[in-house]
Structure 1
């Protein structure tokens, strides 16, 4: 399997333990992290030209990923 950029562990490299703990203890964080993972993988498949997609849809997915990353980052910072 190829490397998928923008995984949560890459976005927050110093917070691996916090991310793991939140996934286990916080259902909302866990759901949002899963949504982030799904959106990120969809973007990766589009950028790798595995799946075709319109530019508008790709841009919408990137905005969604950024919003999820911001939300998750705030939750991670609060949990430190």
Structure 2
């Protein structure tokens, strides 16, 4: 499987309008979305071999990303 980023816009194309609106209107949501994108970039850097990290730490980052993704998805769906 090719290595790729997982931006929110690609993960939730059906919620792109809610994503844009919430990023512009909700500061807390915008910070969470930024944190998600930064985690995704860190994970990509490790998985691509550019940055070294032990597997346990990488797994922890992935769990954080999933948790943020779930929270952001819930907020986007609620905003419809």
Normalising by structure 2, report the TM-score: 0.93
3-state DSSP of counterpart to 1:9: helix
Shifted more, 9-18 versus 33-42: the winner is 9-18
Residue 16 of structure 1 and its aligned partner are, at CA, apart by 1.1
Which structure 1 residue ranges, 4+ long, deviate > 2 Å from structure 2?
none
Residue 18 of structure 1 and its aligned partner are, at CA, apart by 1.0
Query: 1:35 aligns to what?
Result: 35
Query: 1:26 aligns to what?
Result: 26
In 2, Cα distance between equivalents of 1:4 and 1:29: 24
In 2, Cα distance between equivalents of 1:42 and 1:15: 24
In 2, Cα distance between equivalents of 1:19 and 1:74: 11
Query: 1:54 aligns to what?
Result: 54
Structure 1 unaligned blocks of 5 or more: none
In 2, Cα distance between equivalents of 1:77 and 1:15: 7
Normalising by structure 1, report the TM-score: 0.93
Confirm or deny: 8 A CA contact 1:43 1:62 kept in the other structure.
yes
Structure 2 unaligned blocks of 5 or more: none
